[in-house]
């Protein structure tokens, strides 16, 4: 039984930028000389969105459901993990209303990829395109993001009771 009709959740993730890895953001491969390091495909945006989903449904966090000690998740496609997270949330009686996200990346310029990233995220979340918004910011050369040592993603998701 639902006590509230709506729930909000937020997610955060960071991954290191290293040479010799692809850069995948929101399920989209971005042309760049470095990529994100992780046990999985290190899709920092999808990890933040997954945590926002789990948070809104009070289901814990991504590491609880998909532990980084499990060889099963080595090189895992984070789009599949987010789809699994969505199934759990739907089974709990919730459905996403909208998602709003920010990627903090000094480089590369993400504007040319934004339409594709939004479409990819909307498809994984099974939401209309106008219910998903991804923004990009540099960090004005400040801190580890500004030094291009890593990329951060933040996400907020609203859930609505299905019944
Ligand atoms: N990796 C990025 C970062 C930013 N953008 C776009 O540039 C705009 C200005 O960013 P500032 O950090 O200088 O405020 C931002 O609103 C994005 O449209 C980008 O495409 N890729
Ligand atoms: C999905 C997982 C699985 O190993 O991906 P990682 O690449 O380890 O990324 P991180 O955001 O550090 O933690 C989430 C993990 O559960």
Please give the number of the atom of ligand 1 that sits closest to the Cα of 111: 20
Ligand in nearest proximity to the CA of 137: 1
pLDDT of the residue at 1: 52
C-alpha 70 to ligand 1 mean position (Å)? 36
11 close to 39: Cβ distance less than 8 angstroms: no
Judged on CB neighbours under 10 Å (0-12, 13-18, 19+), 13 is buried
- Is residue 104 in a domain? yes
Task: Please indicate, yes or no, if residue 131 is contained in any of the structural domains.
Answer: yes
Choice from 24, 44, 48, 73 to test ligand 2 binding pocket (greatest atom count within 8 A of CB): 73
Question: What pLDDT does residue 10 have?
Answer: 98
pLDDT at 37: 98
pLDDT at 3: 59
Nearest residue by C-alpha to atom 4 in ligand 1: 137
Residue 2 has pLDDT above 60, yes or no: no
> Quick one: average pLDDT of 127-135?
98
Whether 65 and 17 have beta carbons less than 8 Å apart is answered as no
- 98: which 2 tokens? 């909208």
Q: Is the CB of 84 under 6 A from ligand 2?
A: no
With respect to residue 154, please indicate whether it lies within any of the assigned structural domains. Answer: yes
Domain containing 49 — which CATH number? 3.30.1330.50
What are the Cα distances from residue 131, in Å, to 80, 96, 100, 122? Answer: 20, 9, 8, 7
**Within-domain flag for 1:** no
Into how many domains does the chain fold?
1
Residue 90's domain comprises 6-161
pLDDT digits (tens, 9 = 90+) for 21-47: 999 999 999 999 999 999 999 999 999
């Amino acid at each position: 039984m639902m006590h509230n009709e709506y729930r909000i959740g937020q997610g955060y993730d960071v991954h290191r930028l290293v040479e010799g890895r692809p850069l995948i953001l929101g399920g989209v491969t971005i042309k760049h000389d470095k990529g994100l390091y992780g046990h999985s495909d290190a899709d920092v945006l999808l990890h933040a969105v997954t945590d926002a989903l789990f948070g809104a449904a009070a289901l814990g966090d991504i590491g609880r459901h998909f532990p980084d000690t499990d060889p099963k998740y080595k090189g895992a496609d984070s789009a599949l993990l987010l789809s699994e997270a969505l199934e759990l949330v739907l089974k709990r009686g919730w459905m996403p209303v909208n998602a709003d996200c920010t990627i903090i990346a000094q480089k590369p310029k993400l504007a040319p990829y934004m339409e594709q990233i939004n479409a990819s995220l909307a498809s994984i979340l099974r939401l209309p395109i106008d219910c998903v918004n991804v923004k990009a910011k540099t960090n004005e050369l400040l801190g580890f993001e500004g030094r291009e040592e890593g990329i951060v993603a933040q996400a907020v998701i609203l859930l609505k009771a299905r019944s």
